[in-house]
Structure 1
Amino acid sequence: MTLSTLSALVAGLVFVAGMVGAGLMDLLTMKIRNWLVLTLLAFYVVLAPAAGLDPETVGWSVATALVVLICGFLLFSLNWIGGGDAKLAAVTALWLGAERTPDYIMYTALFGGVLSVILLSLRKLELPLSGRASPWMSRLSMNETGLPYGVAMAPAALLVLPHTIWFASLSV
């Protein structure tokens, strides 16, 4: 196994763990912590060159991530998404690359729509006593609570990941 193949494999595992962690973290706490986003960023910085991503590919990924970050903070300023969502979207775009970020945004919107319909429908129902004992379930059942958009972002990213350069590196 070459260093680039091993690096791509480690990158895939790190990214999957990070996205699953972000989705769960957002579901349970309504927050995506900076340490998680910074960890994904740090691993990208180390693993992208080790996996053989060329400077042009990395440059386009960085540019795409910056555009996503700017758009994310615009949406945050309008109170449409949380700051953690904006940062997670940007670091996810970095990992997925310029070619796959539009797919990621599309799937995030679709999963976010489904999540919205489900949560808004459940909020019309009475929360059972067992659910009231759980802080995160109680929080999600309140109309004042926003949507944990990381729950939509994580599966969207995982759906797109196999079509990225990281998996192309594994098949070489």
Structure 2
Amino acid sequence: MTISAIAALTASLCFAAAIVWAGLMDLATLKIRNELVLFLVGIYAALAPLAGLGAVQIGMSAAVALSVLVGMFIFFALGWIGGGDAKLSAVVALWLGAEHALPYIVYTALFGGLLTLALLQFRAISLPDSVRRVPWIAQLHSRNSGVPYGAAIASAALFTFPHTPWVKVLS
């Protein structure tokens, strides 16, 4: 295995694990930790050059990620998403690259819409007492609770990631 393949494999495993963790934690707590976002930025910075991503490609990805961050913070300011969702969206855009940003955004919107519809249906049903006592389920069931959009972001990220240069290096 070449150095670029080892770096791409390591990066891919770190990305996938962190994204799954972010989605699950957002479902359970409605929070996405800054440490997780910083971990993803750090792993990207360390491994992207080793995996064969060039300076132009990294620069374009960073520019797109910054654009996504600005757009998502507008959504945050409007109260549509949380701050963690905004930061996670941007770091995912960094990883996926400029050429995959638009499909990722479209998939995020689609998965977010499906998640919202599912939550509305879930919140409309009555839960048994034993289930209502589970804190994270009770929080998800509450009509006053937000939508764990990090789960939609994570789903879109994992759906798009196999098409990126990170995975193509491995084939």
Taking structure 2 as the reference length, the TM-score comes to: 0.98
| 1:45-64 aligned within 5 A | 45-64=45-64
CA deviations on 1:75-132 (whole Å, 9 max, x unpaired) are 0000000000000000000000000011111111111111111100111111211211
CA deviations on 1:4-46 (whole Å, 9 max, x unpaired) are 0000001110110011000001000000000000000000000
1:139 lines up with 2:129 in the alignment: no
Question: What is residue 2 of structure 1 aligned with on the other side?
Answer: 2
Q: Aligned partners of 1:60, 1:96: CA distance in 2, in Å? A: 11
Question: What is residue 95 of structure 2 aligned with on the other side?
Answer: 95
What displacement does 1:52 show? 1.0
1:113 lines up with 2:118 in the alignment: no
What displacement does 1:168 show? 1.7
Q: Aligned partners of 1:168, 1:59: CA distance in 2, in Å? A: 19
Question: What is residue 158 of structure 2 aligned with on the other side?
Answer: 158
Question: What percentage of residue pairs aligned between the two structures are identical?
Answer: 56
Question: What is residue 36 of structure 1 aligned with on the other side?
Answer: 36
Moved more, 3-12 or 124-133: 124-133
Question: What is residue 84 of structure 2 aligned with on the other side?
Answer: 84
Q: Aligned partners of 2:130, 2:51: CA distance in 1, in Å? A: 47
Structure 1 unaligned segments of length 5 or more: list them: none
Structure 2 unaligned segments of length 5 or more: list them: none
Question: What is residue 148 of structure 1 aligned with on the other side?
Answer: 148
Moved more, 121-130 or 99-108: 121-130
SS at match of 2:170: helix
Partner AA of 2:103 in structure 1: D
The size of the alignment, in residue pairs, is: 171
Q: Please tell me the root mean square deviation across aligned C-alpha atoms, in Å.
A: 0.6
Partner AA of 2:84 in structure 1: G
Partner AA of 1:106 in structure 2: V
What displacement does 1:60 show? 0.2
Taking structure 1 as the reference length, the TM-score comes to: 0.98
